[in-house]
Amino acid sequence: MSAAQAPSSTSPAVRLEELSDSDFEEEIIGTAMSDHLEYLHRVAPPLRDLLETDTSKAQDETLEAILPFLEGNPNEFDLNSHHLPKLQRKKHVAFLEKTLGNYPAQMAPMDAARPWFLYWSLQGLTALGEDVSKYQERVIYTFAAAQHPMGGYGGGHGQLPHLAATYAAVLSLVIVGGAEAYDSINRKAMWHYLGNMKQADGGFTMSPGGEEDIRGAFCAMVILSLLDLPLELPPDAPSRAHGHTSFMDNLGGWVSRCQNYEGGISAAPGNEAHGAYAFCGLGCLSIMGSPTETLNKYLDMPLLIHWLSSRQCAPEGGFSGRTNKLVDGCYSHWIGSCWALVEAASGKTGLWNRSALGRYILAAAQFKKGGLVDKPGKRPDAYHSCYNLAGLSATQRVYTFDEAMNGNVGKGHLGAPYHWEEKGLYEEDKAWDEGDLVDRVHPVFIVPWGKAEECRSHFEGKGVV
Ligand code: FPP
Ligand code: K
Ligand code: ZN
């Protein structure tokens, strides 16, 4: 092997065992960054630990299961001009319409998660370009019953509220939109409910006396911002006894403590870094202020970027959620959507391989009969459909943050997330054709473009009475 250039996208993949050390340096180190990324996503990993463990076996088996989907087309989908399966739009729409419908009796234990099923299905449908206004009445009715008199939402009538259910309920109402949907939310009770979650160390619990983790911080910021609730803690908030007056007191420092030695973000200080929590942490900071300011202030950005980059599996192209674990389509969003926020904060682009993620989603994460999956061999569900589609959208679209954008909305507190702009489509080494385009998704709220702004402006200046 003497060729000194990186393989072009049309040349066959070079197997690493064929390279000598000096070839390796020329092949990998001597090439431009973009070639480097492309190269890594065409061959087996350059360094292999020879110790065999359950983890290494699971990784090898996963790669073997995925490769046929990257190298061929076992589902016999129609191909786009990049020789990748086309986005199976109609099949995914049909699947998500089904996940929005009735469930069999065996699903009863999942009742507490009902708001999530609505959110994932509705968000997935809009990402595919569907008009979901026909569901408006049903969504309002469903959540009117699930709203607790003391504020927040549970899975259904009579259930205790939980912050995750509340987050999914509010986002579902934002997606269908309209004054009736917005005004169905008891904002005053919500303000008190959220005040009850604020903890002495700055973080938030998921329910009264429940677990304190970064989902709580993110969900609370999302809801306070979308509903334009006062940043001041309600008079009955227990953390007032610890000197807090604002929902934001000690919050940035608490999120900062969730970044661990690897650079990723964990559920709570001292835990393992994980993709889902990384997005919650970055989202939380991007609501507290402009990402340029907050991410750089509270996080070690080079270390974060190192950890995020390490999540992109090669040659699979998709992301894992944590070190030494497997690629999974849902991290197309949990990790994939971190990049827009990191790019805004760091001013850098090209930090991740959009094309490789797009290839994983189109080739390996589409289920033959519709819906999207974790990985080949798994069954589709609304969660993996929603988040693979959000990830595909993230590969296709470039967003920038500009404080001067959209000057009419988001002037008050927690107004930062209303100043995102879509710069355009990502065209360089793209994996998609026009027919594979997924709609714009708000980079922080993960709702259709424009919907967060509509909700916020409905409430701006209203206060809580
Ligand atoms: C590990 O599952 C998954 C977690 C530890 C986190 C799940 C959390 C979310 C999806 C975040 C929810 C976000 C909000 C906004 C409420 P696993 O061990 O099955 O998967 P893995 O092997 O890929 O880590
Ligand atoms: K997983
Ligand atoms: Zn998953």
> Domain 89-459 falls in which CATH fold?
Glycosyltransferase (1.50.10)
The answer, yes or no, to whether residue 16 has pLDDT greater than 50, is: no
Look at residue 19 in the predicted model and tell me its pLDDT: 40
Ligand 1 neighbourhood includes 220 CB (under 6 angstroms)? no
Ligand 1 neighbourhood includes 321 CB (under 6 angstroms)? yes
Ligand 1 neighbourhood includes 247 CB (under 6 angstroms)? no
CA-321 nearest atom, ligand 1: 23
- Quote the ligand 1 centre to 18 CA distance (angstroms): 38
Q: Give just the sign of the alpha carbon dihedral 68, 72, 74, 75.
A: positive
The answer, yes or no, to whether residue 6 has pLDDT greater than 60, is: no
pLDDT-based confidence at residue 46 (cuts at 50, 70, 90)? confident
The answer, yes or no, to whether residue 25 has pLDDT greater than 70, is: no
The answer, yes or no, to whether residue 98 has pLDDT greater than 90, is: yes
- Whether the predicted interface score ipTM is above 0.95: yes
The answer, yes or no, to whether residue 29 has pLDDT greater than 80, is: no
Closest ligand by atom to 274 CA:
1
Closest ligand by atom to 384 CA:
3
Look at residue 336 in the predicted model and tell me its pLDDT: 98
Ligand 1 neighbourhood includes 274 CB (under 6 angstroms)? yes
Pocket test for ligand 1, best of 287, 316, 322, 332 (most atoms within 8 A of CB): 322
Look at residue 39 in the predicted model and tell me its pLDDT: 66
The answer, yes or no, to whether residue 11 has pLDDT greater than 70, is: no
pLDDT-based confidence at residue 49 (cuts at 50, 70, 90)? confident
Look at residue 33 in the predicted model and tell me its pLDDT: 39
Task: Over range 51-57, report the average pLDDT.
Answer: 96
The answer, yes or no, to whether residue 113 has pLDDT greater than 50, is: yes
pLDDT tens-digit readout, 352-388: 999 999 999 999 999 999 999 999 999 999 999 999 9
- Quote the ligand 1 centre to 276 CA distance (angstroms): 6
Residues serving a catalytic function are 274, 322, 325, 328, 330-331, 374, 381, 384
> Of all protein residues, whose CA lies closest to atom 17 belonging to ligand 1?
321
CA-320 nearest atom, ligand 1: 23
- Quote the ligand 3 centre to 384 CA distance (angstroms): 6
Identify which has the larger pLDDT, 48 or 235.
Answer: 235
Look at residue 411 in the predicted model and tell me its pLDDT: 87
Look at residue 365 in the predicted model and tell me its pLDDT: 98
Structural contact between residues 423 and 399, judged by C-beta atoms closer than 8 angstroms: yes
Ligand 1 neighbourhood includes 328 CB (under 6 angstroms)? yes
Peptide bond into 85 cis (omega under 30): no
Structural contact between residues 204 and 198, judged by C-beta atoms closer than 8 angstroms: yes
Closest ligand by atom to 326 CA:
1
Look at residue 4 in the predicted model and tell me its pLDDT: 35
pLDDT tens-digit readout, 268-302: 999 999 999 999 999 999 999 999 999 999 999 99
> Of all protein residues, whose CA lies closest to atom 19 belonging to ligand 1?
321
Of 326, 267, 399, give the one whose Cα is nearest residue 57: 326
Rounded Cα–Cα distance for residues 433 and 429 (Å): 11
pTM of the model: 0.92
Ligand 1 neighbourhood includes 325 CB (under 6 angstroms)? yes
* Mean pLDDT value across the chain: 92
pLDDT-based confidence at residue 21 (cuts at 50, 70, 90)? very low
- Quote the ligand 3 centre to 382 CA distance (angstroms): 11
CA-275 nearest atom, ligand 1: 6
Sequence ranges of the domains in the chain: 12-71, 89-459
Ligand 1 neighbourhood includes 164 CB (under 6 angstroms)? yes
Ligand 1 neighbourhood includes 115 CB (under 6 angstroms)? no
